[in-house]
Structure 1
């Protein structure tokens, strides 16, 4: 549906976008993910028509999108601030775009009623924005964006102004709404969890370039560059080289279990990426904390473990409700190794432990971005 080919945008000496190419399908929920200043919002503004690229093309269903002025593009943009008219009611805010198109009053009333019902604000049409909660104002902005029935809805950090619980509720609401109305959504965010929970596919941006485009699970489990490995979720990174027969030869630790990415040559400089939840802890008595009930006590317990591949001491234990994070100091490794276990950990700071993971749960990637 939307094809972006070789788009470049410069601001003086700063290159905001450097030859970006993407393809986004009809009805897809697509996320542009990256840190501040990586170029994702600039790309969104080019699609919307508020910026003109220095090079490249953007087409919608094969038609040149860049040749059309912003108000002639079948696109709606929902701003981070929502930009509601404070003196207008909810219904008037939603109807404003349709009124500018001079649609019949009966048609406007019908479409506004339908969209307010869709976003759960049918009984709030007479209220002013100041009388609504943050989540309700966000719904008004969404209703105003979809009432014109655009082919493409662009959302710029749509949930950043909401608190954690409302944000979680609105993530579900956005996904439900996108499935119901069938509009293609493109969302810009720096929040990894938001992108992972919402999107069908994610493009990770860094320094004006696309590092990787993938589905959330594949992106999390198989990052293809050091930046993606470090930016998307927590990761433990070890330096070394790709092993001759698979695996990974770590500097100072010998051979560690891991699965190289395809086409990664043996002996090439590489990084081993191990997610915290993939690591099993074992103490000196050859017991492990796996999150399974292997002790018969009915609690998260301690059972038999495979031999550890690394040894260290527990520095800190943090409990986050459903999961505990343990920081383990491994001599010879520059940073503590992060381990995640389900529930409350029975391991305490100062404990001597061994760390183990399976080769299939760790990925070996090139040390330099390809």
Structure 2
């Protein structure tokens, strides 16, 4: 539905977007993920019409989107700050866009009623924004965005103003709403967990470029670049050279088990990434595995995180185990994992 081709945007000497190309399908929940300053919000503003790219094209259903004025684009943008009118009721806030289109009063009333019911705010239509919680204000902003029935809804860090529990509830709510209303959602976020829980596909941005586009599970389990492996979730990274079908050869630890990305040649500099939950604590007498000593144990409810000092490795190795760990700081441990649970990728990318 939406095709972004070779979009570049510069601000003086700074290149915010460098030849970005993406394709987003009808009804897809698509996330733009990356650290602050990587260009994701600039791309969102280009789609909304608030920025003009230096080069490249954007088409919506085959039509040139860049040639269409912002107010004529079938797009809604939900701001990070929500930008609700404080002097208007919830219902008036939601109706505002329809009133500007001069739709019949009865149609406005019907559509506002339907969308308030969809977001669970039917009983709060007469309240002002100041009388609502953060989560309720977020729903009002969402209702105002979808009541105009846009082809594309852009969300800029939509949950950043909410506390952790409300944020988790609203993640589920956003996903439910997106399926219910059938609108294509494009969300900008720097929160990996948020992107992974919401999106059908994720584009990872770094310094104005797209490093990888994939479904959440594939992105997590098979990162294709060093940046993605390090940025998306916790990861333990080891450097060496690709050494055959299922190993990374390292000067300090010998052969480490892993599965290389397709096309990775033997003998090239490579990186092995293994997730904390894929590492198990084995028998210290075993011949294979890495020897280490426990630096710290942190309990997070259902999971314990162990920080392990492995001589020769720059950073402590992070291990995640289910439940409360019986291992104590200072204990000697053996770290093991299966080749299929670690990925070997080029170090140069």
Tell me the TM-score normalised to structure 1 length: 0.93
How far apart, CA to CA, are the structure 2 residues paired with 1:246 and 1:135? 48
1:4 aligns to what? 4
Alignment deviations for residues 23-59 of structure 1 (CA, whole Å, 9 cap, x no partner):
0000000000000000000000000000000000000
Partner of 1:244: 244
Q: In the TM superposition, what is the alpha-carbon distance from 1:245 to its structure 2 partner?
A: 3.8
2:54 alignment counterpart = 54
How much has 1:309 moved relative to structure 2?
1.1
- Aligned counterparts of 2:100 and 2:209: Cα–Cα separation in 1: 37
Q: What SS does the aligned partner of 2:330 have?
A: coil
SS in structure 2 opposite 1:7? strand
The aligned residue for residue 183 of structure 1 is 183
Any conservation in 2 of the 1:283–1:352 contact (CA below 8 Å)?
no
What is residue 132 of structure 1 aligned with on the other side? 132
Q: How far, CA to CA, are the matches of 1:139 and 1:357 in structure 2?
A: 44
The aligned runs of 1:99-118 (5 Å cut-off) are 99-118=99-118
1:214-253: CA deviation from partner (whole Å, max 9, x where unpaired): 0000000000000000000000000001013431102311
| CA deviation after TM superposition for structure 1 residue 284, in Å | 2.9
- How does 1:128-207 map onto structure 2 within 5 Å? 128-207=128-207
| CA deviations over 1:320-363 (Å, ceiling 9, x no partner) | 00100000100011111000000000000000010000000000
Q: 3-state DSSP class of the match of 2:305?
A: strand
1:368 aligns with 2:348: yes
User: Do the aligned partners of 2:8 and 2:54 also contact (CA within 8 Å) in 1?
Assistant: yes
How many residue pairs were aligned? 349
Is structure 2 residue 298 aligned with structure 1 residue 318?
yes
Report 1:294-309 matches (<5 A): 307-309=287-289
What residue is the counterpart of 1:304 in the other structure? none
Q: Deviations over 1:269-299 (max 9, x none)?
A: 000000000001124366xxxxxxxxxxxxx
Indicate if the aligned counterparts of 2:292 and 2:311 stay in contact, CA closer than 8 A: yes
Return the alpha-carbon distance in structure 2 between the equivalents of residues 30 and 189 of structure 1.
11
1:329 to 298, 301, 309: 309
In structure 2, do the counterparts of structure 1 residues 118 and 245 end up closer, same or farther at CA, with 3 Å as the change threshold?
Answer: closer
Match of 2:331 in 1: 351
Q: Is the 8 A contact 1:271 1:366 kept in 2?
A: yes
Q: 3-state DSSP class of the match of 1:52? A: coil
| 1:340 and 2:320 matched | yes
Alpha-carbon RMSD across the aligned residues, in angstroms, is: 0.8
Q: Secondary structure at the match of 2:324?
A: coil
Q: Is the 8 A contact 1:282 1:308 kept in 2?
A: no
* Corresponding residue of 1:231: 231
**Cα distance between partner residues in 1 of 2:6 and 2:235:** 31
Q: Distance in 1 between matches of 2:185 and 2:174?
A: 9
SS in 2 for 1:195: helix
Give me the whole-angstrom Cα distance separating, in 2, the residues matched to 1:367 and 1:277.
Answer: 23
Looking at structure 1, the residues matched to 191 and 244 of structure 2 have their Cα atoms a distance apart, in angstroms, of 37
CA apart distance, 1:368: 1.1
* Residues 308, 342 of structure 1: alpha-carbon distance in 2 compared, 3 angstrom cutoff: farther
Q: For the residues of structure 2 that align with 1:135 and 1:246, how far apart are their CA atoms?
A: 48
Equivalents in 2 of 1:105, 1:322: separation in Å? 52
Partner of 1:265: 265
For residues 111 and 165 of structure 1, the distance between their equivalents in structure 2, rounded to whole angstroms, comes to 30
Normalized against structure 2, the TM-score is what? 0.99
Gaps of 5+ in 2: none
In 1: Cα distance, 2:298 partner to 2:260 partner: 32
Show the counterpart of 1:65.
Answer: 65
Q: Tell me, what secondary structure is at the counterpart of 2:195?
A: helix
